[in-house]
Structure 1
Amino acid sequence: MSVQETRGITGGEAEERTTEAAVGTAAALATSYPVAPGYQLNVRSGPGTGYSIVRVLAEGARVRINCQTPGTSVTGPYGTSNIWDNIGSGQYVSDAYIRTGSDGYVAPRC
């Protein structure tokens, strides 16, 4: 009996699990979007510049957009937009600083 068999995982199963993990990682990267190069981005508690800053994203950061909602219009490197991206509980960034490849909504509305 091989070592893998005594652990309850055959070679095919181990390869399948490794492939599933790689696909999951690729999917996570595919659904995240980069912050505009050269910018540190304020994350706000709501969809507008009047909301408090809760943290700052470093240059080169990527974000996963949970949902999007209209808010304060902001001009950034990707144009002027009133779309705000929810990236976590009580965390919003202006879509004008996120390279989504679209001027419109790319996620469900909040």
Structure 2
Amino acid sequence: MGMDKTAAGTEQAGVSTMGAVRYPVAPGYRVNVRSGPGTQHRIVRTLALDVRVPIHCQTTGERVSGPYGTTNIWDNIAAGEFISDAYVKTGSDGFVAKRCG
């Protein structure tokens, strides 16, 4: 009969087709993805410009300053991958996802 309407509009609304909310990373920043919640953890990859990331869970770690303030919240965006919440536009200074662990 045609296109699945729910799947077609989902990504545009900022939600992945799997249902996880995806949040925009600060425009103009190539954010380092770390193996843990702090800059002492190794860099596992660097995000492309202007991407959206899922937040599977959040944890506290090193305090970091970025375009969205100073915070000790780190976002788990994939298995073993964390970025500082200071670089993610969640619309909140607090937790927006369950705690990791």
TM-score (norm 2): 0.86
Q: Aligned partners of 2:47, 2:23: CA distance in 1, in Å?
A: 13
Give the residue type in structure 2 aligned to 1:85. Answer: D
Cα offset, 1:28, TM superposition: 1.8
Q: Give the secondary-structure state (helix, strand or coil) at the position aligned to 1:96.
A: helix
1:106 aligns with 2:99: no
1:48 aligns with 2:34: no
1:91 aligns with 2:87: no
Question: Deviations along 1:58-106, whole A, 9 cap, x unmatched?
Answer: 1111100000000000000100000000000000000000000100000
1:21 aligns with 2:7: yes
Q: Point out 4+ residue stretches in structure 1 off by more than 4 angstroms.
A: none
Q: Aligned partners of 1:35, 1:84: CA distance in 2, in Å?
A: 13
Q: Give the secondary-structure state (helix, strand or coil) at the position aligned to 1:50.
A: coil
Q: 1:75 aligns with which of 65, 84, 101?
A: 65
- Unmatched 5+ residue regions in structure 2? none
Bigger Rg, which one: 1
Give the residue type in structure 2 aligned to 1:28. Answer: S
Q: Aligned partners of 1:106, 1:68: CA distance in 2, in Å?
A: 8
TM-score (norm 1): 0.79
Cα offset, 1:21, TM superposition: 2.2
Q: Aligned partners of 1:24, 1:36: CA distance in 2, in Å?
A: 21
Cα distance change of structure 1 residues 61 and 24 upon mapping to structure 2, 3 Å threshold: closer
Q: Aligned partners of 1:79, 1:23: CA distance in 2, in Å?
A: 31
Q: Aligned partners of 2:42, 2:91: CA distance in 1, in Å?
A: 27
Q: 1:62 aligns with which of 52, 67, 71?
A: 52
